[in-house]
Amino acid sequence: MKNKFTTILFLLGIITSINAQNGNFAWFKNIKYDIDSTNYEFKENLKLINNDSDINFLILTGNISANGYLYEFEEVKTLLDNTSLKYNVLPGINDIDNSQFLGIDYKETFGNNHFIVKDKSVLHIGIRSQKYPLGNSAHITPSELNWLSDQLKRSKQSEKIFIYLNYPLSKIDNSLKLKNILSGRDIRIFSTDENTGFDIVSFNDDSLTVNDKFIDNTFYFIPQDSLDFIDYTQSQSFEKSKLNFSIIWQKDLNTYTPNNVLIDNNNYFIVNQKGNIYCLDEFGEISWTHQLRSEVISKPVAINGILVVATIDGELLSINSKTGQTIQSIGIDDVLSTEILKTKVDYYGIETDAVIVGSKSGTFYCYTLNKLELVWSNNPSNSDIITKPLSVNNRIIYGSKDGYLYSIDDRTGVLYWKWELKKTRELITNFSNPVSDGENVFISISNGDIYKIDLLLGTTLLRISRSNAILSLGLSSTGRTIITFDNKEKLLLNYSKTGGNYKELKMDLGEEITKHKPIEFNRHFLIASDKGTLYLVNKSYNIFPVLFIGTSALHSVQQINENEFLISNFDGKIIYITLQ
């Protein structure tokens, strides 16, 4: 088959009328309804469309709301319900990922994150894609691809299909998987991206026209012979170094897992976004599963045979890690979003195991492990937590959306210090996940500088400027080397004591879309990429791609013992490897 993908660019001027054909619908893009605004244009366009007898239905894609607030969704739904037209909605990033409650308000108002509807001769399908934490890349989850595949099995092969996406295919890292599913079909793809406004789309069996008032649109047509089927389900080895490399076991859960695997003795726990918990034994086989009632984006913790998990709608649960049975749960009126940490607290004069979880709003909560009783809570920043919290020497270190780095006591929640840039007007918009050698904290920030900060005092000890460092940062096992990358496709190795750069290696990992933590072992470095490939930099500074896991961003590498490591990706693929 010919491996081609034809792009047809429609540049059409404003037309004053559209003749009735097989189908006409109105397509709204990124209306960004703002409760504090008049939203005059959207309301007026909705009235005009409602009075047009040729319009069959409405489709809304992209950001429905400006801020993700419940009352914005409710007002849009009221306006839509007051028309005589049926409608379908595909949410945008503000509606889900950037909203205060991570999409809970959207789902309560509109329900599903995708849609499928048949109108006359066309099947209209809206597919949700997840945006990665950084950059402009997106990903279609396995469950969404499976849903699409199931829907297509129920349709005729010759049926015309309109696909709606919030990102163009060029920004979706696993778009080939989508194209494989669509192969052989008569497809048009409507991509929203950052476009705004609305179009009147008219189509019949042979043609498609658009009345576009504001922007140019790109529509894609996939001919029947254009796609090769690509199998990403098997691990693929690349050229190897002189180190012996082998896979001990691998597991493909085929589900979207936004957080890394939790390793506890010989058990491995991973939670998918829908709240399904998987427990794998030492051979990678599933021991048990447990289904929660809500989505989970935080990494759980295990203490003395008890697994603690938090959901985005504020439920904290303790679970027997051997059986998967719920022990107890409590409700917290907050969106629980950070990795769960463990500590010990003085609770009524008795040293007690406890867990700490942070919320999207910036509040940390500490609960006893045995009864899930609140020990303390504190919100020193009153702002979103934007890094993984680091627990070191009874301190919790984290970066906040307000541009400060915070240190609080994990036993009491008391604030120790708040770190900020001195003598600069630059606004910090993001931090790397902090790392520590036990005495100092190391971070890179959004302007490309790297900082060494005293763990106890919160004072700046070292600044490595003009490094153009991105937000993936690690520390060698000895603490002597800072490992990071710059935005010019280089691996940077700096002395942690002086900040001096002693090695730069050309290494293209692509656009940074997640925050990785490179690791060092025996003077070798293992680096996970956002392109699905695990790399090895040996002690002679030669770079080898070790393993390709699939078209999905990887989580950071986890070292199990001296020569054994665990690799996982966002699609639920887990691989246990050894390098000797």
Taking residues 370-389, what's their average pLDDT? 96
Q: What is the pLDDT of residue 273?
A: 94
Tokens coding 164: 């709606």
Residue 539 CB coordination number (10 Å): 10
Taking residues 545-567, what's their average pLDDT? 92
Tokens coding 274: 């829908």
Using a 10 angstrom Cβ sphere, with 0-12 exposed, 13-18 middle and 19 or more buried, the burial of residue 450 is buried
Q: Would you say 230 and 263 are in contact if contact means Cβ atoms under 8 Å apart?
A: no
Which residues share a beta bridge with 90?
61
Q: What is the pLDDT of residue 398?
A: 97
pLDDT in tens, 208-234: 555 443 323 333 333 333 333 333 344
- Report the range of poorest mean pLDDT among 39-53, 415-429, 457-471: 415-429
pLDDT in tens, 149-181: 999 999 988 888 999 999 999 999 999 899 889
Taking residues 128-136, what's their average pLDDT? 90
Q: What is the pLDDT of residue 7?
A: 26
Domains annotated on the chain, with CATH: 6-221 (3.60.21.10), 260-338+340-385 (2.40.128.630)
Residue 70: what residue type? L
Which residues share a beta bridge with 126?
115, 164
Q: What is the pLDDT of residue 209?
A: 56
Q: What is the pLDDT of residue 218?
A: 37
Q: Would you say 257 and 273 are in contact if contact means Cβ atoms under 8 Å apart?
A: yes
- CA neighbours within 13 Å on the CB side: how many for 424? 10
pLDDT in tens, 338-370: 999 999 999 999 999 999 999 998 999 999 999
Sign of the CA dihedral running 166, 170, 173, 178: positive
Taking residues 563-578, what's their average pLDDT? 95
Q: What is the pLDDT of residue 352?
A: 97
pLDDT in tens, 421-449: 876 667 888 999 999 999 999 999 998 99
Q: What is the pLDDT of residue 57?
A: 92
Q: Which one is predicted more confidently, 203 or 38? A: 38
Supply the DSSP symbol for 171: G
Residue 4 has pLDDT above 70, yes or no: no
Residue 508 has pLDDT above 90, yes or no: no
Q: In 478-564, where does DSSP find H-type helix? A: none
Residue 240 has pLDDT above 70, yes or no: no
Residue that is written with structure tokens 């984006």 in the block: 297
The mean of the pLDDT values for the chain is 87
- Report the range of poorest mean pLDDT among 67-71, 228-232, 278-282, 509-513: 228-232
The reported pTM is 0.88
Which residues share a beta bridge with 245?
579
Supply the DSSP symbol for 78: H
Residue 561 has pLDDT above 60, yes or no: yes
Q: Would you say 523 and 540 are in contact if contact means Cβ atoms under 8 Å apart?
A: no
Taking residues 398-402, what's their average pLDDT? 95
Rg (CA), the chain: 25
Supply the DSSP symbol for 389: P
Q: Which one is predicted more confidently, 467 or 313? A: 313
Instruction: State the Cα–Cα distance between residues 509 and 532, nearest whole angstrom.
Output: 10
First to last CA, the chain: 42
Nearest to 97 by CA among 63, 126, 127, 71: 63
Nearest to 307 by CA among 333, 287, 334: 287
Distance set, CA 331 to CA 42, 314, 468, 505 (Å): 38, 6, 43, 49
Which residues share a beta bridge with 271?
277
Q: What is the pLDDT of residue 577?
A: 93
Q: What is the pLDDT of residue 219?
A: 36
pLDDT in tens, 71-119: 999 999 999 999 999 999 999 999 998 888 889 999 999 998 999 999 8
Say whether 398 sits in a helix, a strand or coil: strand
Nearest to 525 by CA among 478, 573, 575, 456: 478
Instruction: State the Cα–Cα distance between residues 528 and 517, nearest whole angstrom.
Output: 8
- pLDDT band per the 50, 70, 90 thresholds, residue 195: confident
Instruction: State the Cα–Cα distance between residues 78 and 82, nearest whole angstrom.
Output: 6
Q: What is the pLDDT of residue 108?
A: 92
